[in-house]
Amino acid sequence: MTGSCSIDLSLKNIWKSWFDFKKGKKKTAELNIFEYYLEANIFKLFQELNNRSYQYGEYRKFVVADNKKREISVAPIRDRVVHRLIYNYLVEIYNETFIYDVWSCRKDKGLFACIERTQKFLHSYPNSFVWRSDVKKFFDNIDHEILLKILFFKIKDEKTIWLLKEIIQSFEKEKGVGIPIGNLTSQIFSNIYLNEFDRYIVHNLKPKRYIRYGDDFLVIENDFDKLEKIKIQATQFLNNQLKLQVHDKNNIIVRPKHGIKFLGMILYPNGRKLNKRSLHRISSRLTQKNAGSYFGMVRKHGNFKLKKEFQWRMNEVILV
């Protein structure tokens, strides 16, 4: 499939997007109301998308306090059906353009697979140097004009361009900047945006290894001076081409033997463990329903002390 193909706005495909969206969703008052008038809602969406009278609704916002506070923006259900429609379309176009070692928001990949892959890299290059970094306030700083320019390089269909503009310009942190954490479309938009960075590093700077999950990334190189040069050039590319900045606090070069803090783990050439902050985060989210899954994770990746501490916390939850 190429970008010259128009997005499918048929009634059949909108129904498919609805069923894709609904899969695994918990019942809520909003969902119940939408389903009560389901056929009318789907047909209205079909009409509005095809005559271009579709307008985006208002976001519901709330703050999540993880290791840092993040504002989550949730769109109305009808808009989330449109998100699924766009997501399916963009994944089919762009997935084959992504480098192999992008592990976020992609089928048959994910967080734990990324950790396993990174572990193999460190095992293969135990005496290397690793540049570990992430993008500062990534979603808040995605530039609409740059994102649209990247999309329109492949997508030429007028109807699709209109809909992409409608979605992207429905939200901004500052004028012309920012996409919402919480939208399904933001997941694919973020990979498309950073694909420029990924390809620049892999094809132009050519380190030994590069891997990215979300806006967290590692670059591995045997020569320290070469890695310093890569770090400078890659940072300049982020600043100049994508108007993004690396997070100063997390922007470091380390040796694998000292442990690489990445995706909630501390990774070594021959092992890994959960860091303390990750354990506290898991403990705060612990319920009777998810206790077994989380304990399996801690048992696999934690040291004896962490396992013991988590076991006590799990017992408290189960006995409630």
Q: Where are the domains of the chain?
A: 1-97, 102-142+179-266, 275-319
- Per-residue model confidence (pLDDT) at position 172: 81
Rounded CA separation 186/105 (Å): 10
Which among 42, 83, 41, 36 is positioned nearest to 59, based on CA atoms?
A: 83
For 204-237, write each residue's pLDDT tens digit: 999 999 999 999 999 999 999 999 999 999 999 9
For 178-196, write each residue's pLDDT tens digit: 999 889 999 999 999 999 9
Q: Please identify, in words, the CATH class of the domain defined by 102-142+179-266.
A: alpha beta
- Per-residue model confidence (pLDDT) at position 317: 44
- Give how far Cα 281 sits from Cα of 67, 103, 226, 320, Å: 8, 22, 36, 19
- Residue 302's SS3 state is coil
The reported pTM is 0.86
83 within 8 A of 185, measured Cβ to Cβ:
yes
Lowest mean pLDDT among 146-150, 244-248, 307-311: 307-311
| Alpha-carbon dihedral sign for residues 192, 211, 117, 303 | negative
Q: Is the pLDDT of residue 26 over 50?
A: yes
- Per-residue model confidence (pLDDT) at position 292: 56
Percentage of residues of the chain with pLDDT beyond 90: 70
- Per-residue model confidence (pLDDT) at position 71: 82
Q: Is the pLDDT of residue 280 over 90?
A: no
Q: What is the chain's mean pLDDT, rounded?
A: 88
Average pLDDT over every residue of 63-87: 86
